[in-house]
Structure 1
Amino acid sequence: MFDIQSHQSVSLTDIEAEIARVVWSDPSIVAEAAKYHFSAGGARTRARMGLEAALGLGLSGQIALACALAPELLHNASLVHDDLQDGDKMRRQKPSVWAQYGKNIAISTGDLLISAAYRTIAMHPHPAAALCAMHDAIATTIRGQARDCSIGLATPEDHEFIAADKSGPLLALPVQLALIAAGLGHDDDAICAGRAIAIAYQTLDDLLDRADDQTYGVTNICLSLEATGLSPGVAARAACERAGASLDAARRHIGALPRGAGAPFLKLATRLDIQLKEFSHAT
């Protein structure tokens, strides 16, 4: 267990150590697959957001860990299952879990990471409220994934709804958990900020992956806009404009969050805004 007595703060190193302790300290083929998945790297965006939100609100290192670990574990579970459902054989320049270990192990690996997320929330000071927030986030993510898997050629509005459902909840959850731990409200503002940022986040991915998504028939905002009659260049600029509007909406909700709890959101929104503008100017 994380030793809060010897840590006044926490870092991503502590996050990685706790993931290792919780997920693959008990050897099994599924734990090995989970370790393999995490070895491919990743930005640990949700973990960073949880740490920053919790520590920014003056919460303890142990609480910060709970706010960071649970969303990060759930996000990685969704990646393992998503790769299997989409048939993606590569993840971060390595074979995806299902391609490396088989479909059955991939399902079990995602399940293990979901279970581990619930285990880490035991460190939260208000576990009942935190568990409810986690369930709501997972349920909405599942709704978005199911719609993405079943829809044909999505309209631009479909695309935004799917992106907000699939990615928004787990971007909002780190901040939600910190707000719950601090006894503060504004849960709806965190959820709305996460959904709006998720649209911009997915739009940037779609701009970069347009060619591959067209080849494999994957939902993509650029292709949805092109289906309305726009040329690829005009569609790309339109996608950037729509994403910019989503970021503006996100900032309004971020501004309503108390005591600087929105700082992780604002940092992510600023980075996305810069990248989208760079892409728009290049087209």
Structure 2
Amino acid sequence: MTFNEGIRIDTSTASSSGGSGRGPGRGIAVGGGVGGLLIVVVALLLGVDPSTVTPSPQQYDTEGVAAPGFDLSQCQTGEDANNIPQCRVVATGNSLDAIWAQQLPGQYTRPRVELFTNDVDTACGTATSDVGPFYCPADTTAYFDVGFFDVLQTQFGASGGPLAEEYVVAHEFGHHVQNLQGVLGRAQGPGAQGATGAGVRTELQADCYAGVWAHYAAITEQEGTDVPFLQPLTDQDIADALSAAAAVGDDRIQQAATGQVNPHTWTHGSAAQRQKWFTEGYRTGDPQACDTFAARDLG
């Protein structure tokens, strides 16, 4: 178990949807600005061909009716977070909110969290489950289909484990922090592609911010319960998070897909880089140590 059972889960900024049931035909708005494009960038993070981010017929019920979302009333305690993946996402978000409010006093505002299956409408466009987890700056919401956690193991070779899943949540919240800091748009600016481009630096910073969260998660007490969010992290916990970070490195994705590695087209960084920057955040607990934009050597 990772979460302390004594914590209480706050679902006030979370929601859940089961898909629109529209059937195929509406794709993601991918043009103009960081909004729609960011979804495609995150699709690349997950190893997904961006051309697949449109709904497919089998993702809907036979009546074309929206499926019900997950019942968030099931998420009450840390025990629920340990047993139910959807509750684990929300509880991880709670811990991230507490930690980033301390790190960015007066600046941090909570993002919304939406759990979805099949497809979801966002201010960045329509996304399907194929996209995996993503953050939309236009509505300051992090979106999660928990089925991705299984894909992370079965298709990308990650070791699994609760902290691997929580790392994914922390990475998306890292993009929210970047949005608050006004740097997220650099991922789509001039010179964004390539092994040293702004896109890679943006993603590695989000990995580092996930490490900052891991540094504090087991020592930060939840207000009202005075219980730390997480139990002390073990070496295996950290290994699981590093495994997840490495599994979605550009080099591993390219090698698996084409048998070749082309750093000139990287958007998120290599497996080694992603592990390095998560480790840097975890080691220091200092967001200032995550300035990948100023780093000469990304690792």
TM-score range for the pair, normalised by the shorter chain length: 0.3 to 0.5
**More relative contact order, 1 or 2 (CA 8 Å, 6+ apart):** 2
TM-score by length of 2: 0.32
The structure that is helix-richer by fraction is 1
The structure that is strand-richer by fraction is 2
